[in-house]
Amino acid sequence: MVLPNAPYARYTVEDLLQMPGREGLRIINPDRPPHTYWFSTDNCVGQSVGDIIRENFREAHPNWSLTPDHVRRTWFKCFAQKWNWSIVVNEKVKEEFYKKAMVRLKNIVGDLKEKWRSVQRSLTCSTARLTRDDDGNLPVPHTSGQVPHTGRALQIAAQEGAPPSLA
């Protein structure tokens, strides 16, 4: 076991699982005895995985395959500090954690992309809305609603008594 004053990076998940004081943590168990949790049946486990990724999202990792191994291991170590499980099922927990983290990372990146798009859209719209011409005039807002070209031609014909000409 690693000494408590050793740097965090030197701890393995196995070391973390053997440390004292973990009795109060929620327990993960694939067999699901009473008062335990598992990835596929309890949303709080998946939410915890997503929270860990969000809290430790230091660099851009567009997908799981481009996420470095040391980052994946760090996320799993963070997970091991919030949850408790038997060392016997450690590999199973790690496998399920990675599956869940892969999905959560995809969702997080997708949410970030959507947020970025909405920011870009709002900037584009407000920029266009506030653009001034050479004389400093703001654009005239369109208040007549959408009218197709044919409909507009009929309106002009009704007003002027003749169809509009292109001349």
d(CA 27, CA 86): 9
Instruction: Quickly count helices (H) and strands (E) in the chain.
Output: 5, 3
Distance CA 109, CA 119 (A): 15
Mean pLDDT across the chain: 81
Predicted pLDDT at 1: 34
Lowest mean pLDDT among 29-33, 55-59, 87-91: 55-59
43 vs 145, which has greater pLDDT?
43
How far apart are the C-alpha atoms of 156 and 96, rounded to whole Å? 68
Distances (CA, A) of 109 to 2, 61, 156: 35, 8, 51
Cα–chain center distance at 65: 16
- Beta-bridge mates of residue 37: 28
Length of the chain: 167
CA 27/CA 101 separation, integer angstroms: 18
Most confident of 2-6, 102-106, 136-140, 144-148: 102-106
Q: What is the structure's pLDDT at 6?
A: 44
What does the pLDDT look like over 126-166, one tens digit per residue? 666 666 666 777 665 555 566 677 777 778 888 888 777 76
**Does pTM surpass 0.75?**
no
101 in Cβ contact with 64 (< 8 Å): yes
Asked if 104 contacts 47 with a C-beta cutoff of 8 angstroms, the reply is no
